[in-house]
Amino acid sequence: MSLGLTIVDHPLIQHKLTILRSKDTPTAKFRQLLREISFILGCEATKDLTLGSIEIETPLETGSFPYLEGKKLCFVSILRAGNGLIDGLLDLVPSARVGHIGMRRNHETLEAEQYYYKTPDDLGARQVIMVDPMLATANTSIAAATALKNDGAQQLKFMCLVAAPEGVEAFHSAHPDVPVITAALDRQLNDVGYILPGLGDAGDRLYGTKD
């Protein structure tokens, strides 16, 4: 669909996502599967990290081997559902820094409004991967990417779980330089901004806040 969109169709991701979509999947399982999927999605999101080399001794001989070169990472969770993707990413890169952005909808202007922001000081020196399970209208992710760029982020990606075509288009018109990595591109948004077929409200399903 778009040059900046990667759909990760690894069979394990697709299998786990199907279980996530089921309305019968309980909270604990939902949380665990989201963590597992984010680990695999994270492999794709970090696949362009630069490798240098390092000399080491194996038990048998000395040799030069690939080793990550200085590029530092920061994962940024868009609250609250983004938190469901952070643990899997930290399983993958335990030394990464983590930032948080809280956005809510202003009911008068209908615009995304920031209520919380905390990231490491050296954002410009890091590869920044912003995460939110659902790319729906993109109002929140567009505002979050703008806030991160205003704070110095130069290398920015957006990793989500399920995207709507309308959201991908809106996000790319606002931030054509920010690649989007997702596990699925679903059919459409409904009239209240939920993704169809989707998986429902990711935050509620993750934290069990609605029956």
Binding site for ligand URA (CB under 6 A): 81, 134, 136, 193-195, 198, 201-203
3-state helix, strand, coil in the chain (%, to 5): 35, 30, 35
Sign of CA dihedral 164, 166, 167, 173: positive
Q: How many CB atoms lie within 10 A of CB 174?
A: 15
Catalytic residues: 105, 109, 201, 204
Which of 136, 196, 144 has the alpha carbon at shortest distance from 170?
136
Output the smallest distance, CB 177 to ligand URA, in A. 24
Q: For the CA atoms of the chain, what is the radius of gyration?
A: 18
Output the smallest distance, CB 189 to ligand URA, in A. 8
Between 126 and 172, CB nearer to ligand URA: 172
Q: What is the token pair recorded at 152? A: 């110095």
Output the smallest distance, CB 141 to ligand URA, in A. 10
Between 34 and 153, CB nearer to ligand URA: 34
* CA distance readout (Å), 48 to 2, 7, 42, 43, 63: 19, 16, 11, 10, 24
Between 34 and 96, CB nearer to ligand URA: 34
Between 73 and 161, CB nearer to ligand URA: 161
CB 143 within 8 A of CB 126: no
Between 178 and 195, CB nearer to ligand URA: 195
Q: Which residues contact 9 (CB under 8 A, 6 or more apart)?
A: none
Output the smallest distance, CB 202 to ligand URA, in A. 4
Output the smallest distance, CB 158 to ligand URA, in A. 14
Q: In whole angstroms, what is the distance from residue 70 CA to residue 91 CA?
A: 19
